[in-house]
């Protein structure tokens, strides 16, 4: 545990020293939230909720995926390409401590991203903070399951690329595609073709955003989900399943060296 915490501190310091990466990681979701949230106006009937608020709630989930799946995948690929993984493998540092350190970085970055997006959404779109302990508890378990599943999947996906450049392309292509079919950019999600949503239902992004909409939006907005309800039990089940699947995929696909 002490080695994992020490490695986590190193990862956090390295990340925040890369100013360009920090600015891009944190600014892009916020920029998209402001841009698209301002374009799509209007209010949902008999709810008092604006389109911008619904979009902002989904973008908070999308930001968490960005700082976990995308950052973990590209970061692991970078460590593999520059020989960091190979050198670490020859040290007493156990592999579990290395990965725990990465997840600590993801947790810190994802929480900072979520706070930033909540502040922006509150100031510009009037998004309200959760008002009950139950909603805060929902935020905590959705957040933890989201960063765990997406981090593991990012590590597994990093093995698909031969270089950091390839990893950036793969991660962002998958991430952007899942945002579109998961109802992040289309509000409400019921406007999407049913087949598209069925495909998105196999992946975590839809359920992460749906879980966070249940945290920040009133219960009346559940009617605008595909099932007409928040389905929090299903959210937990599917995200938990992806945590297990991500761990298995990591065990099967992870490579220490850049060569195949």
Q: And the tokens for 108?
A: 């810190």
At residue 88, the pLDDT reads 82
Residue with tokens 């049913």: 194
- Positions in the chain short of pLDDT 70: 258-260
| pLDDT tens column, 39-76 | 877 788 777 888 888 888 999 998 899 888 988 888 88
At residue 50, the pLDDT reads 87
The secondary structure of residue 258, as a DSSP letter, is S
Residue with tokens 């399951």: 145
Is the pTM here over 0.95, yes or no?
no
Helix/strand/coil for 147: helix
Domain ranges of the chain: 2-253
Q: What are the backbone angles phi and psi of residue 160, rounded to the nearest 5°? A: -75, -20
Short-list 145, 74, 72, 143, CA closest to 111:
143
Q: Are 146 and 239 in contact (CB under 8 A)?
A: yes
Cα gap 192→243, rounded to integer Å: 27
At residue 251, the pLDDT reads 85
Beta bridge partners of 43: 50
At residue 150, the pLDDT reads 93
Cα gap 179→175, rounded to integer Å: 6
At residue 259, the pLDDT reads 57
At residue 159, the pLDDT reads 86
> Could you please report the per-residue DSSP string of 42-96?
-B-TTT--BHHHHHHHHHHHHHHHIIIIIHHHHHHHHHHHTTHHHHHHTSS--HH
> Could you please report the per-residue DSSP string of 161-214?
-SSHHHHHHHHHHHHHHHHHHTTSSSSSGGGS-HHHHHHHTTSHHHHHHHHHHH
In Å, how far are 87, 92, 110, 120, 253 from 71, measured between CA atoms? 21, 26, 10, 22, 18
Cα gap 162→165, rounded to integer Å: 8
At residue 217, the pLDDT reads 92
The secondary structure of residue 225, as a DSSP letter, is S
Cα gap 23→189, rounded to integer Å: 29
CA within 13 Å, CB half, 242: 27
Cα gap 32→87, rounded to integer Å: 38
Residue with tokens 């996906």: 157
Cα gap 150→129, rounded to integer Å: 24
At residue 86, the pLDDT reads 84
At residue 255, the pLDDT reads 80
């Amino acid at each position: 545990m002490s080695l994992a915490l020490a490695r986590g501190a190193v990862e956090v310091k390295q990340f925040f020293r890369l100013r360009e990466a920090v600015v891009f990681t944190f600014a892009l979701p916020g920029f998209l939230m402001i841009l698209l949230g301002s374009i799509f106006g209007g209010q949902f009937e008999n709810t008092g909720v604006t389109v911008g608020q619904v979009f902002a709630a989904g973008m908070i989930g999308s930001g968490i995926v960005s700082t976990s799946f995308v950052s973990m995948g590209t970061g692991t690929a970078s460590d593999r390409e520059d020989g960091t993984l190979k050198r670490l493998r020859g040290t007493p540092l156990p592999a579990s401590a290395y990965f725990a350190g990465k997840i600590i970085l993801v947790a810190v970055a994802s929480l900072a991203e979520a706070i930033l997006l909540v502040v922006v959404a509150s100031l510009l779109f009037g998004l309200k903070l959760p008002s009950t302990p139950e909603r805060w508890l929902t935020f905590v378990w959705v957040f933890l399951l989201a960063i765990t599943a997406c981090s593991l999947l990012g590590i597994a996906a990093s093995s698909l690329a031969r270089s950091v450049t390839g990893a950036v392309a793969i991660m962002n292509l998958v991430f952007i595609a899942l945002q579109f079919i998961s109802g992040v950019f289309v509000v409400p999600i019921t406007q999407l073709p049913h087949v598209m949503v069925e495909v998105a239902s196999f992946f975590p992004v839809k359920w992460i955003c749906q879980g966070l909409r249940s945290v920040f939006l009133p219960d009346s907005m559940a009617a605008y989900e595909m099932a007409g309800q928040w389905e929090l039990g299903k959210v937990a089940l599917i995200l938990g399943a992806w945590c297990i699947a991500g761990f298995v995929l990591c065990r099967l696909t992870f490579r220490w060296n850049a060569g195949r």
